[in-house]
Structure 1
Amino acid sequence: MRSPAHSVVWLRRGAQRLGLVPTLGGSVAAWQLERAEGAFDLWRPWDGGSDLYRTASFPMVPWSNRISGGGFEEAGTFHPMRPNRAGEPYPIHGDGWLQAWQLERQAGDAAAMTLESRHFDGSPYAYRATQHFRLIDDGLEQTLEVQHLGTEALPYGLGVHPWFPRTAGTRIAAPVRGVWLSGKDPLPTAHTERIPQDWDLSRGTPAFGSFVDNAYTGWGGQARIEWPGQGMQLQLDMPDFDEDGGTAAHYCLMYRPADGPAFCFEPITQPIDAFHLEGRPGLRVLAQGQAMRMRIAWRFAELPGAACG
C-alpha cells in the first residue's frame, strides 16, 4: 500500500485505522479493523497503483455515474463533456476523483480534505468540495459537500464509491423498490419494479452472481453487508435522509462484476445518466454560493450466530 507519488495519511481509533490519499483524487487507501485473528478489511484495500478504481473508495463530485450525448443542456445552453477514463465512451463520476485534494485538518481520528476545481479539463463546473472523515468507536462518519462557485447555475450530484471485499458467503441487503435496466452498456433503457430475483437488494442478494451495474429507486437510505465466514457485518445509514428529500432525492447503485475479490455499493443522489432521464431525477441545480452535502454513518458489528473462519 505504498506509492512513490502518493502518501497515505493514517487515522486511528482503537482497533481501527483509516488511510487517506489526498493527492490521489481524495481517495481512501484502506479501512481496517484489527481483530484477534488479524486485520479485517471493511473496504477492499488500495493496491498502491495510480488507478482510482483500485483504491478502497473515492468521492464522486460534481456528479456521479455517466453522462451520455456528449454533454448536457442547462437553461438553454449546451455544455459539452469529454470522456475522462480510458476505455469509457462517456464521462464518468465527475472530475473530483481526477484531481489532487488538500489535507486541511487532521487529528488522531479525524481529518478533512478540500478541493477547489475550476473548469477542469474544459468542464463547465467551478466548485469547492470538502470531505470529512471521523472514526468513532464502532465505525466511521463520512461527509461529502460541494459548493457551486460559478456564476451560471448548474445541476449537481454527489456519491461515494466504496469497494467491499467478498467471499463466497458475502451478502448485501438494502430497501429498494425498483431498478433501471440497461442494454450492453450501463445507460438506463427502462425502469421496472419487477427487480430480477438475484439483483433484489430488498430481499438480500449474494455478492457473487450475475453481472450488475445498475441504479435502484425507492432506496430507504440504509444498507447492510454481511460476511458470515468472518462473523462481521457493516451497516450504512444516511442521518439526513428524510430532511434531505428521502427516497425522491437518494438512489443507490450496485456494481457486481462476475469475477474478482470485490464489489461496490454506492450511495448516490442521482442515477446513471440522470442528465438525460425524464425529470432529471436527483439532480439539484445550484446557483452561485449554494451547496449540497451527503452524510453517511458506517457501523460495524459482529454478526450474530455466524461462525468465524
Structure 2
Amino acid sequence: MARIPTSGTQHALRAGDYEAVIASVGATLRSLTHAGRDLVVPFEADEVRPAHRGATLAPWPNRVVDGRYTFGGVERQLALTEPARSHALHGLAAWLDFEAIDKGPDHVTLAAVIQPQTAYPWRIVVTTTFSLGPDGLTQSVTARNDGAEAAPWGAGPHPYLVAGEGRVDDWTLELPANEVLAVTVDRLIPTDLVAVDAVEPERFDFRTARRIDTAEIDHAFSGLQRDATGIAVVRVTVADGTGVEMAWDAACPWVQVHTADKPQAAQSRLGLAVEPMTCAPDAFNAERYAYDAGLIVLEPGASSEASWRIAAIA
C-alpha cells in the first residue's frame, strides 16, 4: 500500500499553462502555478500545512470570539484553536480528510462530513470542486444540512497570493473595498465597520492601486465595488504589471486581507492572504454587531454555495 503524504492524497491538475495540486486534508490548495510561476505560496506534500495555507474554511471562516456563541437559544463553547488570542479559528473542516468523488485531468471534486459534536451539533456535508481552465483556478464550496435542525454556516478559502519576485512590501495592491472592520489591537475582536479612508487610509484604502510597502493588515473588508456582473476583483502586481488576481461574486460580501506578518523575518510577508468570506469575523455572534455580519442559517435539507477564482495577470 502506497504511503499517504502528510498533507493527504495529492490531486494534480493541469490545463494549458496552469498547474495546481490539491491536498485532501482540508481540501487544501497546496500549489498553483502559471507557466511555472507561483501564484500562491506553496508548501510540500510531506509538510504539515502552515498557517491554514490554502485550506477550505468551514463551517465558519475567521474567528469566533472566545469560541463562544449562542444559536437557537443554546450557548455553545468551541475549542480555542487560536490560543494566543483565545478564539476558535477557521472552522472544523481544515483538518478533515476529504474524499475524491469525481476527478479528471483539470478538475477534482472532494467531499467530507462535519459530524455533530458538542460545540457544533449539526451534520453538514461539504463538497468542493477545484477546476482549472483558461481563466485560472475556480473553487466552489457547497454545504448541505443533513441534520434535523437549522445550523449556522459560513465558508471561505485561505490562499496566500504571490505577485512575483520579492515580498508583500514590494507589491502593488488593488482592493476595491469601501469599508474595513475595525478590531482591537491585541485580540482582533471586531468593534465597528468604518470607511477605509476614515482612519489610517494609508493602511486600509487601496481602492486606487498602490504599493503595499510596510502596511500591516489583518482585517476584514466589505462594501466591495463590483463590475456589472457582480464580481469583485483583488489584484496584486509587481512593477511590470504582471501578478495575480482573485475574483468572487455576491456570495462572499466580505474579504479578509492579511500581510502575513511573522516574528521570524525569513517567514514573514511571503504572500498576501486574500480570503473571500460568506460572512464577517465572529458572524456566529451576529446579534452583537450593528452591521450585517452575513451569517447563513442552513435549514434542514437546504444547501448553500459560494465560489472564487485565482488567475495570473500576464
TM-score interval for Structure 1 and Structure 2 normalised by the shorter chain: 0.7 to 0.9
Note the alpha carbon deviations across 1:84-128, whole angstroms, 9 max, x for none.
Answer: 356451111111112111111110101101111212575323200
User: How many angstroms does 1:211 deviate by?
Assistant: 2.0
Distance 2:100 2:246 in 1: 25
Aligned partner of 2:224 in structure 1 is 219
Which aligned pairs between 1:282-301 and structure 2 lie closer than 5 A? 282-301=294-313
Q: Does 1:210 align with 2:215?
A: yes
Aligned partner of 1:139 in structure 2 is 136
Which aligned pairs between 1:90-105 and structure 2 lie closer than 5 A? 90-105=87-102
CA RMSD of aligned residues (A): 2.3
Q: Using a 3 Å threshold, how does the CA distance of structure 1 residues 206 and 3 change in structure 2: closer, same or farther?
A: farther
- Contact residue 208 and residue 256 of structure 1 kept, 8 A: no
> 1:275 aligns to what SS in structure 2?
helix
Which aligned pairs between 1:191-210 and structure 2 lie closer than 5 A? 191-193=193-195, 194-197=198-201, 198-210=203-215
- Contact residue 46 and residue 54 of structure 1 kept, 8 A: no
Aligned partner of 1:305 in structure 2 is none
Aligned partner of 2:49 in structure 1 is 51
TM-score norm. by structure 2 comes to 0.83
User: How many angstroms does 1:19 deviate by?
Assistant: 0.1
Note the alpha carbon deviations across 1:114-166, whole angstroms, 9 max, x for none.
Answer: 11121257532320011111111231222011111222212211111111125
User: How many angstroms does 1:233 deviate by?
Assistant: 3.0
Which is further off, 120-129 or 92-101?
Answer: 120-129
Q: Pick one of 7, 10, 19 that aligns with 1:8.
A: 10
Q: Does 1:174 align with 2:162?
A: no
Distance 2:42 2:253 in 1: 27
Q: Does 1:251 align with 2:254?
A: yes
Q: What fraction of aligned residue pairs are identical, expressed as a percent?
A: 19
Which aligned pairs between 1:96-115 and structure 2 lie closer than 5 A? 96-115=93-112
User: How many angstroms does 1:210 deviate by?
Assistant: 2.8
Distance 1:42 1:144 in 2: 21
- Residue correspondences, number: 288
> 1:299 aligns to what SS in structure 2?
strand
Distance 2:161 2:77 in 1: 34
Runs of 4+ with deviation above 6 angstroms:
none
User: How many angstroms does 1:214 deviate by?
Assistant: 0.8
Distance 2:302 2:311 in 1: 30
- Contact residue 52 and residue 58 of structure 1 kept, 8 A: no
> 2:284 aligns to what SS in structure 1?
helix
> 1:63 aligns to what SS in structure 2?
coil
TM-score norm. by structure 1 comes to 0.85
